[in-house]
Chain A
Amino acid sequence: MSAPQLNKLPGILLLIVGVLAVETHAQVTFERLLNSSKEPHNWLTYSGDYAGRRFSSLDQVNTANAHSLAAKWVYQTAATGKFETTPLVVDGILYATAQDNRAFALDARTGRPIWMYQHQLPPDIRPCCGRVNRGLAILGDKVFLGTLDAHVIALDAKTGNVIWDVSAVDYKQGYSFTLAPLAVKNLVILGISGGEYGIRGFIDAYDANTGQRKWRFYTVPGPGEPGHDTWEGESWKIGGAPAWTTGVYDPGTNQLFWPTGNPSPSNRGEGRAGDNLYSNSLLALDADTGKLNWYFQFTKHDEHDWDATQVPVMIDSGDKHLIAQANRNGFFYVLDRTTGKLLSANAYSRTTWTDSKDAEGRPIPNNQSSPTPEGRTVCPGALGATNWMSPSFDAQTGLFYVTAREQCDIFSTAPQPYEVGHAYYGSAYFPSDKAEPYWGALRAVDPTNGQVKWEFRHLSPTWSGVLSTAGGLLFTGDAEGNFIALDASSGKPLWHFQMGGAVYASPMAFAVDGKQYIAIAAGSSLYVFALP
């Protein structure tokens, strides 16, 4: 009787140890997020690291073998509309979102689903730009989703079951979440969307365990707060300044750097005289409290919908702690991230709205930039010199890669009364029949001098972001459906694959069982590539 028990014991012990090992590994702790560079096979945050670099240190796929990349699997979402997700990958499991607030977990080697979730959306949501979502955050054993009806939802990473679901704000006033949240310490951080609806923007932090809101930073200051006097009359109440792109986190100073979007109405400054803080700014917030440490406003009193909602990238150069952003207004900005002081601003695309800089070095509008009732041609156009698609920074080449759009628009004011929950643009824009065809390019910017070192010209503008890898490669997609690998030092295309649908997403890389994969959403499918 005792013998069998004795025989069983090591097995039971092994089982316990084994289960414990898996459990421990499955927990995505804050420590792991901080040290994501130690596990390059995983992609743990929206931008791949807290610095916002969208760089993978995997080098199995490299300039020598990229020509033999092949599709490994495809996951179809059965949804329509723009598919903007960046997946996360943790220890062989891929987590992503799709249109209409779907979320799913897949076997990252095969694409086979493990679970699927879809949030029930009310019929009257008001997303400005499609029923989109850009991804999840992961912390502990939960993944986090922001929804189009402005809910924040925690799902069990193993089952997709809802653990908590909180409403951040009344979606009927035009609020929504489209971004991938950022997990920091025990907090889940999200910025709101709705700059086209006359919302009052904010950035929220929720307790990852309970869903309780720990802090909120209003991106439009209320009465008595600094910056409130940058709004005319009551315009602050509907001032916009959403925060719909995932920010970055600096563990050294425990600060979040979060970009904000346009003031409302987006293309008409009348009625909101002043700088309109903190629209179109980069905010440095204390991660524990949401308290503002410093801000830098890229475009004061914006009248062209030039949200500053581009992922900022932390770059360390010697003892200099920098943060760089290729802004929608066409300029590449480098700031000292300790103080928020502007160090340089250089155009990386065609700009007609400015001829001079202020004392701080910030480009300021000329007298030919404001929209008029008859319409006025301005470059870049309303969609900007770039938009939300992620840039990438590769420390190996020292280059900052950005998807650029060359398009000028006619901006025409269309005075419009504010109505709760209704689109609130205050203007229209369209191409002139004299305008050149639009085009796009992937540009490599040297952040030390702001100069464009080379460009890879796209046939038409793309909504794809850029991934750089230690294999000396860049990956990006185009509007015609190609996924393209380029040499990161020269921009020379090395490989492409026609996916059959336009790209509205940024690529990422991961590895399972020692094999490197590269993933991108295109059309309504998620494509994953690897060497044969």
Chain B
Amino acid sequence: MLTSTLSRHKTFSLPGWRCAFASILISLLGALALLALLACSTLAEEVRNPFSGNPKAAKAGEFEFRINCAFCHGLGARGGGRGPDLTRAHKRHGDSDADLFQNVSQGIPGTVMPANGTNGQGVGMTDDEIWQIVAYLRSVQVQSPAKPIGDTTRGKEFFYGDANCSSCHMVEGKGGRLGPDLSAVGSARTVESLVESVRSPSQRLAWGLTESTKEFAQEYETVTIVTSDGQQIKGVALNEDQFSLQMMDTTERIYLFEKDKLRSIQKSRRSMMPTYDATTLSDHDLDDIIAYLLSVSAK
């Protein structure tokens, strides 16, 4: 299915960056850049959802969405524990019909978003069914999401300062490595889930992954091990299998262990991230931090 989709769509599913790259290349050669851009925009124009504005197709798309996408993106497309909120008009990996089709059909490299038919859950979709999903997403799209209420400048100060987020989290290349990089989290998670992650960080500490997204665990499980000579090391699991463990401690040192050589291994679903309740971080300050994260990911 994947190969067929590829072959049938290669004529027009040229992603934006390739157009940009082509135009740069061509502009080096001369004044053909305009022509290249025209070609790109012509290609983009060709890709229109055949079911655009068709409520029946959007309804069919809802069925498909529940079967194929809700597992990660939630029943109403408002984001699950793993997949981003898709009701937002601005999507990190492209907003056009062509982008959405491409992302469903081919997956998004470098993320856990799998190509159509490869997620091990449910069935692969036909091109029409993918377009129905695009129609559904358009039907639930929130045109003008509520503006974040916080102060982004103050949020940034907090992130790198008093709230101490940056000791473990990186944003735009600056910060710690123990926790997830948060540069894109604003576009990948709902505000509600961001609040929850700060207020009760263990709540959603990744609950199981489907096999296809398991290449890297990245569950940020807390691990405490005791070596054969009695040394205790606490940190975050980078990866693990039945026989070995790769982990990072709070000083960002990476350890590689064979499990049978350790005296003990304790794993915990309690995140190493401290719980920030309202007394340690006020709602007001948290709003500012979230506003900062949203502003970064909107870039």
Task: Please report A residues at the B interface, Cβ cutoff 8 Å.
Answer: 81-82, 123-131, 196-197, 375, 407, 412, 414-416, 422-423, 425, 427-431, 433-438, 458-461, 463, 478-482, 484, 493, 496, 498, 502
Contact = CB atoms under 8 A, between A and B. Distances in A.
B252 to A, nearest CB: 24
Contact of B4 (A123, A428, A463): A123
A123 B241 contact: no
Contacts of A414: 62-63, 66-67
Nearest to B239: A480
Contacts of B207: 431, 433-437
A11 to B, nearest CB: 53
A381 to B, nearest CB: 10
Given A422-B126, A436-B207, 10 more contacts: A126-B1, A128-B122, A128-B123, A414-B66, A427-B66, A427-B67, A433-B80, A434-B207, A460-B211, A484-B242
B243 interface: yes
Contact of B123 (A423, A430, A460, A498): A423
Contact of B67 (A425, A461, A482): A425
Given A459-B241, A481-B241, A498-B241, A130 B118 contact: yes
Contacts of B123: 126, 128-129, 196-197, 423, 425
B70 interface: yes
Nearest to B221: A437
B264 interface: no
B240 interface: yes
A385 to B, nearest CB: 16
B7 interface: yes
Interface of B is mostly: loop
Contact of A479 (B7, B75, B211, B269): B211
Nearest to A421: B126
21 contacts: A82-B120, A127-B1, A127-B124, A130-B118, A131-B1, A423-B64, A423-B123, A423-B125, A423-B129, A425-B122, A425-B123, A431-B71, A431-B207, A431-B208, A433-B80, A436-B207, A480-B214, A481-B241, A484-B242, A496-B243, A498-B241
B204 interface: yes
B10 interface: no
Contacts of A461: 211
B208 A407 contact: yes
Contacts of A463: 211
Interface string B230-264: 00000000001111000000000000000000000
Contacts of A433: 80-81, 203-204, 207
Contacts of A479: 211, 214
B243 A482 contact: yes
B208 A458 contact: no
A478 B211 CA distance: 11
Interface centre among A81, A129, A460, A481 (most CB of B within 10 A): A460
Nearest to A432: B207
Given A124-B4, A412-B75, A482 B122 contact: no
B67 A422 contact: no
Interface in B12-64: 62-64
B65 to A, nearest CB: 8
Nearest to B63: A416
A354 B207 CA distance: 25
A384 to B, nearest CB: 13
Interface of B: 1, 3-4, 7-8, 62-64, 66-67, 70-71, 75, 80-81, 117-118, 120, 122-126, 129, 203-204, 206-209, 211, 214, 240-243, 269
B241 A129 contact: no
Nearest to B193: A433
A515 B80 CA distance: 52
Given A422-B129, A435-B207, A479-B211, A123 B8 contact: yes
Contacts of A437: 206-208, 269
B242 A496 contact: yes
Contacts of B67: 414, 423, 425, 427-428
Nearest to B72: A430
B217 to A, nearest CB: 9
A219 B6 CA distance: 36
Interface centre among B8, B120, B125 (most CB of A within 10 A): B120
A438 B121 CA distance: 15
Nearest to B71: A430
Contacts of B129: 422-423
Contact of B241 (A127, A375, A436, A482): A482
Contacts of B1: 125-127, 131
B126 A430 contact: no
Interface centre among B7, B123, B125, B269 (most CB of A within 10 A): B123
Given A459-B241, A480-B242, A482-B241, A430 B211 contact: no
A423 B66 CA distance: 12
Contact of A428 (B70, B211, B242): B70
Nearest to B211: A479
Nearest to A409: B71
Closest 8 CB pairs of A and B: A123-B4, A480-B241, A428-B66, A438-B208, A414-B66, A437-B208, A423-B123, A416-B63
Contact of A459 (B203, B242, B269): B242
Contacts of B208: 407, 431, 435-438, 460
A438 B213 CA distance: 13
Contacts of A124: 4, 126
B242 A482 contact: yes
Contacts of B62: 414
B75 to A, nearest CB: 7
Contacts of B124: 126-127
B118 A81 contact: yes
Contacts of B66: 412, 414, 427-428
B240 A459 contact: yes
B83 to A, nearest CB: 10
A126 B122 CA distance: 12
A152 to B, nearest CB: 22
Contacts of A127: 1, 124
A196 B243 CA distance: 37
Contact of A123 (B7, B120, B206): B7
